[in-house]
Structure formats: C-alpha cells, structure tokens
Amino acid sequence: MTEPKTYVITGAGGEIGAATARRFAAPGVRLALFDRKADFVTELEEECRERGATVLSLGVDQTDEEQVRSAVDTVTESFDGIDVLFANAGYGRFAPLLEQPLDQWRRHIDVNMTGTFLVCQSVARSMVARQRPGSIVVNCSSGATQYTDLLGAYCSTKAALWMLVRGLASELGGHGIRVNAVLPGVIETGMTSPMLGGPEDHRSALLRATPAGRLGAPDDVAAAVAYLASDGASFITGIAIPVDGGQTLHGQPQWYATDYRERSSGQWQVAK
C-alpha cells in the first residue's frame, strides 16, 4: 500500500486549486494550502479535514522570497518533508500590448514567473535536502503555447513557465524529482466568469471552437494534476498535458478579434 503523501498547493483559494485539494484529501494525507491570505481557504481547509486529511493553511505572497521560504520550511518541519507541489497561483489581465500599463506587466512577471520560480525552487530544495523523490506540477495554461489576443503579458509569462518546467525537469531528474505542466484551456472559474457571463457571443464562440462540446471544469484540471503527481506517472517528466477539450487543435480560441484589413483601427470586438 502506498504511504500517504504531503502535498503543497498554491493558489488554493481559487477553483482549480480547491478542486485539486479536494481530490488529494483523504485519510492520512497531509495538505498545505497556500494563498495570498489564509482566510481565502478557511472553508476548504475544513472540508479537507472532514475528508480525513491533516491540513495546514498559510497566507503566502509568492512574490516575496522570505514568505515563500518561511512557508516551505514550516510545511517541511510540520509534515517531515514534501512529496508533491502543485504550483497553481497565477495572475492575468486583458490589455493590448501597446496599452499595457507597466505596473500590470510587472505584476504578471512577479506573480507568474518570479513567484512560481520561487515556490518551485524552495520546494525542490526541501526535497533534495531530505533526499526523497517528488513531483512538481505547474499550471502553465494553454496560453503557454497558443497566443490569445489581448492577453499578451499573461501568455508571455506562461510561455516562460513552460521553459522553466523543462529546465527543472532536466536539472532535478538526478534527484528523483519529476516536473511537469498542465495547460488548461477555458475553464469555468471566477477568473473567466466576467467574460463567460458577459456577451453570449463569448460563450458561443468558445463552445464552437471546443471539440469536446463543453467548457472545462476545475475538476478536469485537478484530475490531470493528480495523475501527474501519482506513482502511475513515475516515468513521465518534462511534459505538458493540454486540458482544453481540444480547443488548441485549431489554434487557441480567442476572446476578442479584429479585422486586419482595416489598418490602424485598433478595434477589438468579441470573437464570433
């Protein structure tokens, strides 16, 4: 029988992070839930405890190296090590690149690139120090490989994460640590709800471009993460699994589109 593991989930207060925590939660399992504020995961913490897991919730700003290091040290000491990390926290805002505010651009870099790097580095150091194999799964988004108009900062930073995943997989392989990515497409979450609950054209255009015939649910992503983190994936590292219902088969679905025949118009409208 496989010994219960210790899991760290960042962005645990979001729908994808929460769905993954619920999937991992079971008797004997140890869960560390990270989010910007511990209050964001209060209900989730109780729910996971009811499922039999031992749970530790920590408020962690992943752009702050000291906070990340302290949180990982706390988990390592409390649970005698870490076996799995799901680096899920992220940030995204719509804006044309020509109009992208610098502070918003920097926020994408700080959260998506630097923050994810700091979490992965700190957890990997803990795994290496204790000489125990482990698994790291990073939420890179389908934007890592397919560009979406008006999400230039988001896609750029997610593409950088995909390269980080490959680099970590290569460098950590000798320590028995596997590193992989999931590439969610359009998932129905709080982040996408303003768009999906807006003009009906948005939902229709996205559904029309999704061979599975529906949009994704958080548990669709959680299932892929659970597989990559499991012993059943012990010979899989350095890969990215699309979780998009086939949306990227014909290119990334677009939220917005423009008519390129109209030069210098800069007019973006709901994709149809």
pLDDT per residue as tens digits for the range 23-33: 999 999 999 99
Give percent above pLDDT 90 in the chain. 81
pLDDT in tens, 166-186: 999 999 999 999 999 999 999
Among all residues, which ones are annotated catalytic? Answer: 154
The third-level CATH classification (topology) of the domain covering 6-189+214-245 is Rossmann fold (3.40.50)
pLDDT in tens, 137-169: 999 999 999 999 999 999 999 999 999 999 999
pLDDT in tens, 44-61: 999 999 999 999 999 999
Beta bridge partners of 69: none
The pLDDT, as a whole number, for residue 268 is 86
1 pLDDT tier (thresholds 50, 70, 90): very low
The pLDDT, as a whole number, for residue 263 is 79
Mean pLDDT value across the chain: 93
d(CA 19, CA 54): 17
The pLDDT, as a whole number, for residue 199 is 64
The pLDDT, as a whole number, for residue 28 is 96
